[in-house]
Chain A
């Protein structure tokens, strides 16, 4: 489904990603871990199409299409979803209104009829239950005055509404208490299917108790330096990142 080959990206001339290779197949959950500043969020942003990052080398194929050549909106319409690390507050735009515009543009791209108000509302009700989000919250301005947990739940709610093929969760767990974490993970797990894939970017192993990954990759200095199964995450939790840093830095100097 997703094939990343030798991806290099920089911001304002500073290289952040230095040759990422990653294959993600339908039905899989990949966790991307790594110390602060290793490039985890950059990878998520580059995949979603954030303009500040310049891709200097490499290729990303998503369902056979050159992902990097698509605008951010077309990536979303093709089925890429980024749950933001820091969801934006937009005063004056209600989640409901914004999401209806988004969903209908996505549907149009996919050759589907737009949803009328009634159908949209009933779809919303169904998906709201998934992340235990209140309708009152959704009629308010997007994320404005929401708690950290409410913002993250809103991200997963949007994900549920847009039914992406590939979901990228950028540190969705950070700042969440256990209850919120459980609700958010629950939502993600219910949305998983044989046809979709998930990339979970996280700093902590904790989330992976709830969203169980098939593969764990460690990102350090812009490269994937270690890949393994969920046991790798447990090892990282126990031993921290220092041993990996040492391993990489020593081989680099040799």
Chain B
């Protein structure tokens, strides 16, 4: 256990930062110093003492260099039955060797061409970790979807992580989808060993008009991993963006998801499942900004918490005065399976327009004993019955995942966790 000051914490990262995007990095650095790591009890990180966690869990704060990935590792990481594009990353760095492509899809390293307007969607002053990433990321990927192209097969971002001499991994991804394009991304993180590390990820997604984009994220890191993820997207006129966030493990995970609805007739969907055990701590902060009239947002997050796990849900819906005829729906339901599990859930609605439809609701409960008895009375053992009920609870979100191979993979993991097949 070491105790590092914030200065020491970031110093190694700043020193190791490459020379690319120097002015943007400088902005990030200044913004980070202005904000600092979130203080204990800071409103936005009230239930997630991330700075303390970093200070007590990590011993080295230099960037983790990419590790060698084998074809075998890639092969075994891809879900059974997956058909689509695979983009491989090692500690945030793109590995072209095992990556595939599709018509209408282009990739290039961020360092290749410094024209990518990093930070224009994920703004440094919104979160200190965005600032830290912008100041210190090693390299990242610019992913382009051509105008008018509908890429039917999903694009799997296979993110291999392993602390390798350093412990901080700073993935940086910029996705730019042209007008009338369509694409589905799966961000899948895999820990290669059991050593602790910190992932500070920033994904910016710039959608064109009438675009249809889906971003699935599957977090199954091992239980010493600390992660902060910032996914921010600009959604234009007549567009749809859907996010699903599935978190099954980790030490402390904080997901910031921000949807900026910038054009009318746009739709933003935010779905999530967190199925937690042990001492895993997962905090989902979502933020949808209705800036124009006639847009819609839908949100459904479901949590199942066992052992001493802890969940935090904070769903912010911001409806600006001009954003009349907004439809915004939010729901967060939780089942606590033990007396020691904790959930802090908070809807946060700020509505300045006066002709809108907004609803929110959250529930916290236990497994329905009556339903359990009903299933047992039909001959189903208790473990399977519990699994069946919890699976049904999560099912509403799982049904939103249209990629069969991904959904089956998640279902199998959930079944394994719940100890039952059904």
Among B373, B378, B389, B395, contact of A50 (Cβ-Cβ < 8 Å): B373
Give the docked Cα–Cα distance between A98 and B374 (Å). 11
What does the 1/0 interface line of A45-86 toward B look like (CB < 8 Å)?
000111100000000000000000001110111000110100
Residues in B neighbouring A73, C-beta threshold 8 A: 376-377, 379-382, 385
Q: Are B376 and A76 in contact (CB under 8 A)?
A: yes
Q: Are B379 and A106 in contact (CB under 8 A)?
A: yes
Q: Are B379 and A76 in contact (CB under 8 A)?
A: yes
A167 contacts the other chain (CB 8 A): no
4 extra A-B contacts, CB within 8 A, seeds A49-B377, A50-B373, A87-B374: A88-B374, A90-B375, A105-B384, A141-B392
Known A93-B388, A98-B388; contact A88-B379, beta-carbon cutoff 8 A:
no
Chain B residues within CB distance 8 Å of chain A: 368-371, 373-382, 384-385, 388-389, 391-393, 395-396, 422
Q: Are B376 and A72 in contact (CB under 8 A)?
A: yes
B411 to chain A, nearest CB (A): 13
Residues in A neighbouring B370, C-beta threshold 8 A: 88
Give the docked Cα–Cα distance between A158 and B380 (Å). 13
Q: Are A51 and B373 in contact (CB under 8 A)?
A: yes
A146 contacts the other chain (CB 8 A): no
Known A101-B384, A105-B381, A106-B379; contact A72-B389, beta-carbon cutoff 8 A:
no
Give the docked Cα–Cα distance between A98 and B379 (Å). 10
Q: Are B376 and A71 in contact (CB under 8 A)?
A: yes
Among A76, A90, A101, A158, contact of B371 (Cβ-Cβ < 8 Å): A90
Q: Are B384 and A72 in contact (CB under 8 A)?
A: no
Residue ID in chain B nearest A89 by CB atoms: B371
Interface hub of A93, A106, A162 (most chain B Cβ within 10 A) = A93
Q: Are A90 and B373 in contact (CB under 8 A)?
A: no
Give the docked Cα–Cα distance between A158 and B391 (Å). 22
Residues in B neighbouring A97, C-beta threshold 8 A: 422
Known A73-B381, A90-B392, A93-B389; contact A98-B376, beta-carbon cutoff 8 A:
no
Give the docked Cα–Cα distance between A23 and B391 (Å). 41
Known A73-B382, A88-B371, A97-B422; contact A82-B377, beta-carbon cutoff 8 A:
yes
Among B371, B373, B391, B393, contact of A72 (Cβ-Cβ < 8 Å): B373
Q: Are B392 and A91 in contact (CB under 8 A)?
A: yes
Give the docked Cα–Cα distance between A75 and B2 (Å). 57
Q: Are B371 and A49 in contact (CB under 8 A)?
A: no
Residues in A neighbouring B391, C-beta threshold 8 A: 92
Residues in B neighbouring A50, C-beta threshold 8 A: 373
Give the docked Cα–Cα distance between A48 and B377 (Å). 7
Give the docked Cα–Cα distance between A38 and B61 (Å). 71
A97 to chain B, nearest CB (A): 7
A-B contact pairs, 26 of them (CB 8 A): A49-B373, A49-B376, A49-B377, A51-B369, A71-B382, A73-B376, A73-B377, A73-B380, A75-B377, A76-B376, A88-B370, A88-B374, A90-B389, A91-B392, A97-B422, A98-B378, A98-B380, A98-B388, A101-B380, A101-B422, A103-B379, A105-B379, A105-B380, A105-B381, A105-B384, A162-B379
Near B by CB (< 8 A), chain A positions 85-132 give 87-88, 90-93, 97-99, 101-103, 105-106, 109
Give the docked Cα–Cα distance between A158 and B369 (Å). 20
Give the docked Cα–Cα distance between A102 and B392 (Å). 16
Near B by CB (< 8 A), chain A positions 189-226 give none
B277 to chain A, nearest CB (A): 21
Residues in B neighbouring A77, C-beta threshold 8 A: 379
Residues in B neighbouring A49, C-beta threshold 8 A: 373, 376-377
B302 to chain A, nearest CB (A): 11
Give the docked Cα–Cα distance between A101 and B389 (Å). 13
Among A71, A76, A141, contact of B378 (Cβ-Cβ < 8 Å): A76
Q: Are A92 and B392 in contact (CB under 8 A)?
A: yes
Residue ID in chain A nearest B392 by CB atoms: A92
Give the docked Cα–Cα distance between A162 and B377 (Å). 11
Give the docked Cα–Cα distance between A72 and B385 (Å). 12
What does the 1/0 interface line of A126-157 toward B look like (CB < 8 Å)?
00000000000000010000000000000000
Q: Are A92 and B393 in contact (CB under 8 A)?
A: yes
Residues in A neighbouring B384, C-beta threshold 8 A: 101, 105
Interface hub of A87, A102, A103 (most chain B Cβ within 10 A) = A102
Give the docked Cα–Cα distance between A84 and B382 (Å). 18
Residues in A neighbouring B369, C-beta threshold 8 A: 51
Give the docked Cα–Cα distance between A77 and B391 (Å). 23
Residue ID in chain A nearest B421 by CB atoms: A101
Give the docked Cα–Cα distance between A76 and B396 (Å). 30
Q: 3 nearest interchain CB pairs?
A: A92-B392, A76-B379, A72-B376
B356 to chain A, nearest CB (A): 28
A75 to chain B, nearest CB (A): 8
Residues in B neighbouring A91, C-beta threshold 8 A: 392
What does the 1/0 interface line of A154-168 toward B look like (CB < 8 Å)?
000010001000000
Q: Are B392 and A162 in contact (CB under 8 A)?
A: no
